[in-house]
Structure 1
Amino acid sequence: MKIGPTWRVLLALLIGLLLGAVAAGTGDGWRDPAVRIASAIGGLWLDTLKMTVIPLIVALLVTGIVGGADAARQGGVAARSMLWFALLLTASAIFGAIVMPALINIFPLPEAAAAALRTGLAGVDKEAAASSVPGLADFVRSIVPPNIFKAAADGAILQIVVFTALFAFALTRLPEEKRRPLASFFESLGEAMLVIIGWILWLAPVGVLALAFAVGAGAGGAAFGAVLHYVLLVSSLGIAILLAAYVVAALGARWPIGRFARAMIAPQAVAISTQSSLASLPAMLGAARELDVAPANADVTLPLSVALFRATGPAMNMGVAIYVAHWLNIPLSPLALIAGIAVAAITTYSAVSLPGQLSFVSNIAPISLAMGVPIEPLAILIAVETIPDIFRTLGNVTMDVAVTGAVARRSDTPTAVGRLAD
C-alpha cells in the first residue's frame, strides 16, 4: 500500500521522537554527536523553508488585496461579503489571542513535560526572537518602516505587512492597464514560491525526522504527550469557530439550526476527506441552493470566501504561535499579542486554500515573527497538522455558507433565505 506524503511526515515525526527518546536514555558517547548531526540536517531543511516566507507573504498579500478590491467593484454583494470577511477575521484573531492562553491555564501541560520539552528545544534562540518585540513608544514608530529593504533583511514582519498592504491598496487605484502587469508579476511570484515549498516539503520526512530526533533526545518520552496536548488545544479553537458558524447562520441568515445542519452534511463530508475548501466549493454551492440562497448571491460570495476568507485561520494560527511561546516559556506582552492579531487578520487574505502542510509555515511564521516567537518548532508541528487541519477546513466551509446566507439576507437580490419553519 502506498503511503501518502502526509502520513510519511507523521511517521517520520513518530520515528524521530521514538529514536530520540531511546537515545535520551543512553550515554552521551554517541547521543551528543547524533544530536548535532540531526540538528544540522534539520536546521538546513528548516532554513530552506524559512527563506520562502517573506516573498510568499508579499506576493500572496498583494494578490489577495488586489483580487478582493476587484471583486468588490463588481457590486454590492461582493462589497458586503468583504465587510463580513473583515469583521469575522478580526474577531477570529482576537478570539485566538484570548482563548488559547485561557485554555493553557485551564488545561496546562504538566510542568515536567514542559521543562523536558524546553530542554529538547534548547537550541532555539528564543531570546533573540523575544527581543524583536519593541516597547510601547518603539512599537508605535515601528509600524511604519523607514526602509522597507532593511525591514525585509531584519525580518520585521509587521513592517513588511503594513508596507505590502499599503502598496496593494495603492495598486488597486491604478488604471487597469497599469495595475494588471504588476498584479500578474506577484501572482507568478507567489506560484513560484509555492513550487519551491512543494520541493522542500518533498524532503519533509528527512527534515522532520532529524528535528524530532533532536527534540526527543532532549525531552525523552514527554515529547509525545506535549505534541498530543498541542493537537487537542489547537483543534479546540477550530471547533469553537465551527460552532460560531451555526450562530452566524441562525442570527445572520435566520436559518433554523436543524435545517442548516442538514444542508451542511455533504460539504462537511468533503471537507473532512479533502481538507480543502476549494474542493468543497461544489458541495457548498449545493448547500446554498438547498437553503434557498439565490444563485446571484451564492455565485459571488462563496467563490470569494474560498479565495479570501478562512474564518478559522486567525484564531488557530494565533493559537499555534501562543502555544509555541508557552512551550519555550516566552512571556507575551499585550503589544506582542496586538502585533500578532494585526498580522493574523491581514495575512489571512493571502492564505492559500490548500491542505494544511503546504501553507502551515507560510501562514503562521509571519504571526510568530511579529510576536517575537521562534518559528523553528513549526517544522515539527507541521507533521501533526493533519488533525487540526480537519477542523480548520470544517470551520471554514461551514462559516463560508453561513456568511453567504447572512450576506444574501441583506442583499437587494431576490432570495428565499430563511424559511420560518424547520
Structure 2
Amino acid sequence: MRILTALFGGLAIGIALARWQPEWAAAGASVAEPLGTMWLNALRMTIVPLVVALLVTGVAATARAARASRLAGRAIAIFIVCLWISSSLGAIVTLTLLDLFPLGADAAAALRSAFVSAEPPGEVPPFSDFVVAMVPTNAVSAAAEDNFLPLIVFTVTFAFALTRLGDEPRDLLTRFFQAIADAMLVVIGWVLFLAPIGVGALAYVVGARAGTAAFGALVHYVAVVASVGIVVWLLAYPTAMFAGGVPLGRFTRAVAPAQAVAVSTQSSLASLPAMLRGTEMLGVPVATAGVVLPLAVAIFRFTGPSMNLAVALYVAHVFGMSLGPEQIAIGIAAAAITTLGAVSLPGSISFVSSIAPIALAMGVPIEPLALLVAVETMPDIVRTLGNVSMDVAVTSVVARGGEAEAAGRGAGEAA
C-alpha cells in the first residue's frame, strides 16, 4: 500500500505541476529522475546473483526431491510440462490481447517519453546469432553484461552438474548458493523499504512527462496481465476434470477455501493447509497430497511463466518493438526455466528479479519494471489464485496416475 500510494501520489503531483507550473515540473523531474534511477539500479544489482543462486538451489531441490521417491519424480515431470504450457500460452494470449486491444498511440508515446534512460531497441539479429549466443564463452562476462540467455544456460548446466557430485560437496555448494540468495533477499528488503521514494520519484517523472495518459496506460497494463493470468488460472478446471478425473462441481467446492485464503494473503504457502483439506475432499490419499502439495508450493508456480512473460511482452509493446519468432521463443524458454528458481514471496518482492531475466534475454528494456511493480498487488492476486488452483488440480492428476500404476502392478502380479 505504501508503494501504491507513492505511485498515485507521484503521478498526481507530476500531472498537476505539468498543467499549472510547467517550469517547476521540469525542474522537479531533473531531481526526481536521478533518485528513481538510483533506486532502480539498486534493484538491478541484486538480479544476477539472486537469479543464479535461486536457479542452482531450485534445480538442486528438484533433483533431490525426484530422487527421494517415484511419486515426487512423477509430480516434478508434470510440473515441468505445465510450466512450459503456461509460458507458451502466456505468449499466445498476451500477443492476441495486444493485437485486439492495443495501448493507444498517444499513451504509449507519452509513457516512452518518461523512460528516456531506457536503451532503444536495436535491430533483431538473425536466428543463427541467437543459437550461437546461447552457449557463453565467458559466464562472468555474460553476467557482467546482463546477457541472461547464455547465463541461464550456464547456470542450469552447472546446477545439473552439481547434482552429480558426492553428498558433501553438493550440500556445501547448495548451502553456499542458498546463503547468497538469502543475503540478496535481505538487500531487496532494504531496497523495497525505500520503494515509496523510488517509485514516487519515477511516478512523478512519468506524470510530468506523460500527463493523464499514464493512468490509462497503467489500467491497460493491469487489465492485460490480469487477463492472461485469469486464462491460465481457468486451465486448472479442465486439468482436474480430464486429467485428474474430478467432476467440475466437486473440484470447484474443494478448491474454494484455498482460493479465499489466496486472495486474502497472496501466498501459496499460507494457502497450503486449505489446499490439503481440499485434496482430502477430493479423495486424494494423504500420503500423496502430503508429498505433492508442499513440493508444488516450493517449486511450482503455474502462473509465473505466463504472467512474467506477459509483462515483458507488454513493455515491448509500449516501446513499439516488433518481436520476431526467435525472441518470443527465447522469452518462452527463459520464463519456463527461471520460474523453477523463483522465490516464494509476494509478487511485489520478486517482481523485478523474476521478469528482468526474461526481458533482458529478449532485448526488452527493463526500466519500466520499477514503475509497474507498484501495481503488482492487483495481478498478484490472480497469480496466487492460479497457482493454488493448479496445485490442487495437479495433485489430483498425480494421485490418479498413482492409482493407475498401482492397478497395473496389481494386475501384473495377479497374472
Which 10-residue stretch deviates more, 217-226 or 325-334?
Answer: 325-334
Is the CA contact 1:294–1:414 (under 8 Å) kept in the aligned structure 2?
A: no
What are the residue-to-residue correspondences of 1:3-402 with 2, within 5 Å?
A: 7-26=1-20, 28-127=22-121, 130=122, 134-402=125-393
Alpha-carbon distance between aligned partners in 1 of 2:5 and 2:148, rounded to the nearest angstrom: 33
| Secondary structure in 1 matching 2:27 | helix
**Which sections of structure 2, spanning at least 5 residues, go unmatched?**
408-415
Measure, in 2, the Cα distance between the counterparts of 1:106 and 1:100.
10
1:125 deviates by 1.8
CA distance in 1, matches of 2:17, 2:126: 42
Q: After the TM superposition, which of the residue ranges 254-263 and 290-299 deviates more from structure 2?
A: 290-299
Give the counterpart letter for 1:114 in structure 2: A
Compute the displacement of 1:27 (Å).
Answer: 5.1
* Superposition deviation, residue 85 in structure 1: 0.8
Compute the displacement of 1:339 (Å): 1.1
Deviations 1:208-253 (A, max 9, x none): 0000111111110010011001001100111111110001100111
Q: CA deviation at 1:28?
A: 4.3
Deviations 1:103-131 (Å, cap 9, x if unpaired)?
0111122222222222222332223xx45
Residues 248 and 280 of structure 1: is their aligned pair in 2 closer, same or farther, counting only changes over 3 Å? same
Aligned-pair CA distance for 1:175: 1.3
Deviation at 1:277, TM superposition (A): 0.6
Unpaired segments ≥5 residues, structure 1: 1-6, 416-422
Identity among equivalent pairs (%): 53
| Structure 1 position 32, deviation (Å) | 1.9
CA contact (8 A) 2:89 2:232 kept: no
TM-score normalised over the length of structure 1: 0.94
Q: CA deviation at 1:414?
A: 6.8
Structure 1: how far apart are the matches of 2:11 and 2:142? 36
Cα displacement (A) at 1:67: 0.2
Q: 1:331, 1:246 → 2: CA distance? A: 34
1:418 matched residue in structure 2: none
Deviations along 1:125-161, whole A, 9 cap, x unmatched?
A: 223xx45x64211111000101111111111001111
Letter of the 1:402 partner, please give it: A
Contact 1:197 1:358 survives alignment (8 Å): yes
Note if 1:406 corresponds to 2:397.
Answer: yes
Deviation at 1:21, TM superposition (A): 1.1
Shift in Å at residue 14 of structure 1? 0.2
Deviation above 4 Å: which 4+ runs of structure 1? Answer: 412-415
**Partner-residue secondary structure (3-state), 1:25:** helix
Query: Are the counterparts in 1 of residues 266 and 381 from structure 2 also a CA contact under 8 Å?
Result: yes
Cα deviations by residue, 1:6-33 (Å, 9 ceiling, x for unpaired): x110000001111111122245432222
Counterpart-to-counterpart distance in 2, 1:179 and 1:112: 54
Q: Mean Cα displacement is larger for which, 25-34 or 394-403?
A: 25-34
CA contact (8 A) 1:121 1:218 kept: no
Alignment-mate amino acid for residue 137 of structure 1: S
Check whether the contact 2:136–2:142 (CA below 8 A) recurs between aligned residues: yes
Deviates more, 1:101-110 or 1:367-376: 101-110
> Matches of 1:47 and 1:358 in 2, distance apart?
15
Other structure's SS at 2:269 match: helix
User: How does the TM-score come out when normalised to structure 2?
Assistant: 0.96
CA contact (8 A) 1:81 1:301 kept: yes
The 8 Å contact of residues 242 and 399 in structure 1, kept in 2 or not, is answered as yes
Return the alpha-carbon distance in structure 2 between the equivalents of residues 294 and 67 of structure 1: 24
8 A Cα contact 1:126 1:330, kept in partner: no
Aligned-pair RMSD on alpha carbons?
A: 1.3
Rounded Cα–Cα distance in structure 2 between residues aligned with 1:329 and 1:38: 26
Retained in 2: the 8 A contact 1:61–1:349?
A: yes
Does the aligned pair in 2 maintain the 1:97–1:341 contact within 8 Å? yes
Find the residue that maps to 2:137 and give its secondary structure. Answer: coil
